[in-house]
Copies of this chain bind each other. A is one copy, B any other.
Amino acid sequence: MSSVAKKTAGTGAPEKGSTSQATAERIPAAQRRELILEAATGVFAERGYAGSTTDQVAKAAGISQPYVVRMFGTKEALFLEALDRAQGKLLRAFRNVIAAYDAGELAEELQHLDPAAGSGRPEQLKQLMAIAYADLVEDRGILMMLMQAFVSGHEPAIGARAREGFLDIYRLVRDEAGLSPDTARDFLAQGMLMNTLIGIRLPEVYEQDSTAEELLECTLRSKLPMVLKASKAQRRAG
């Protein structure tokens, strides 16, 4: 997805010799909004709310800083929207698993589950959702965006949203997947551990530290190779 109509990189010279326009390609506001939210999710996930600047988001989205502010009003409003979006993606991922399971579409995946963990619907859904959660690590923005919100409870608006969002996830796992409170708690705890391991960038030292290797191995299991690959890609891009 790149510019076709405009200059900048369109025809030959990226230099601004001719028309001194540094302006981005014009696209509808609704699409631009989504691009900004995508960029903001990455920036906020990386640096947290206070550690991010609207200019970093603007640069990541390929537009100017005033445009970001004008479109969302304030940095806080932008953060809240990005948070909602990330939470929505997580809830949708879980609901997709549940729906597919109940429709009997996961016969293949069921073969690879740990039989010792139980064969009831809640036990199997728990394992399947854990896999879906680990899949979200590939993006890395979504889970760390949530994590950053979870440690920003001192900001009144963000704290309130984070609380509600976390409880939404708990209720989904309990009511829609049917996990008992204790099982739901264990499920969430595993998720928070994964977030933490990603947050401290443990995959980056996987090869140099055997303790890190062991902990990552027993936390991510079959999803470890994918996470390691995503980590390396992230480092290149960073």
Contact = CB atoms under 8 A, between A and B. Distances in A.
Interface of A: 46-51, 144, 147-148, 150-154, 159, 162-163, 166-167, 170-171, 181-182, 184-186, 188-190, 192-193, 195-197, 199-202, 205, 209, 211-212, 214-215, 217-219
A159 B192 contact: no
B153 A200 contact: yes
A192 B36 CA distance: 31
Contacts of A182: 218
Interface SS majority for chain A: helix
A155 to B, nearest CB: 8
Given A47-B154, A144-B151, A193 B185 contact: yes
B167 A209 contact: yes
A167 B215 contact: yes
A46 B152 CA distance: 8
